[in-house]
Chain A
């Protein structure tokens, strides 16, 4: 282009035209003009970033999905057999009733509350099949918003699953916190927890992780659960249990359901969100169960009818496939035993990984105390790593944690080849 005045005017007019086009385009796209770019999901966003990473050494310790010792997704043997069995039993794709597949919800609440549960015997449990943990939580949140007094807040632990706050907020509930995690010890802040629960207003709703707290891996002991139960009873509170890791935590489904059963036996009103994503490996099938333990059979009927109406407005009726598989497995003696075995294998592998990680960290000469990794329980470990360290790990070492330092205890390498990092970031040892 020439330096002449005419050339300059042409250049200017071209750039103005471009801007005008943008303005005009924007005014025609005015319908969604006010839609801001939403942030990437704190957990699935990590998996997206991991997928885009081209390094061969990359490790995803972000999303809560089980991997075998080769880093591959693991389809349980009992699930394969259960799927074959369900294809023999069920021959169509017809709509389920709104509350879902009845044999599935029946066996589901038996798994959670125990085969000898008083509440089940007295038919006091309202249960609906829902879309995995998230769907059950959302259903419960909508139920609370509709039937508890206006402005009832829900109390959750100060460290909790990233999606909890968003689910309850989107249902229109106010969020409050109680102390849970003690950063100094990286274990439970029992004193703070009990004190905060003691100060709850009457008839509050309290969210508790039934087992394998996500993301800290810090669970109360049985004695501590009893203390929590006493205070909850005293404050006349309602408890919403999120149980996504039954069987996966200790390897024993009965043990993992201790808190839920303890509270149910104490006649505390309970809502329960059960997920089969992890303990059955049925992640994408979206299998879960939402239940409410009521005071009487009659009340359970009323509650069920209202929860049904809410579910009808969210998804009409739940997906068949996953529920049929779970029902086929749990209602078959052999397959059920196989499942209990396999879930214990998964839980044991987690414990092995915890031990191995700590051993390797110590071997690498790290001066810090990593014992909290073995004291914590479940799929996740709250390492104590800070956001800048997490970023360094992702950028320089292609290891993906969530921003809060929570990491998943499966690596893509065999147990010996763990990457160990000194917290100060000074020494990196590849073993």
Chain B
């Protein structure tokens, strides 16, 4: 029986793209199924009843969710072009920075994009602090040298492409070339990799989409007094 791989994703989700990049790097054929996250399909709800989120990978009827978990599954199932290093300490380091970027930078940058006032100020400050730590790591550890893209590149790839869009939509600045030279160098390399540059969502559409999300999300977390 031929292997069947399906990926349920969303056209501008950095989490979906991580998985697509991994599958492409490994040369794995897959069927991509676009999911309308605002009108979730019964398929998605059946496959991921606990979190109801994309991306979801279905491999020969085995369902895996959570993008970092999917990355490791893909790496372990298709062993060509390994994503994680072999050495346990280096693996631990890659996993740590992936989680750090997710929990400390991505969440804060996202919040800074849609929020206002003090919330925004704090989220901005947190984002910059997190990015400074990542810059420190990139400078020191040289994970990102060499020709091959790995787990950590995929995990933080969104910084190269989604973050600038969020900065514009949120009228804020987190990244700058002068302040973050190591990340700047990495971004250029990452975005010019053949498998990445042809697999990115259209920027103009992303702007429209995130612009359209900013105020509804703000209003969701800050209901007007009459609604209480």
Do A and B belong to a common assembly?
no
Q: Which residues of A contact B (CB under 8 A)?
A: none
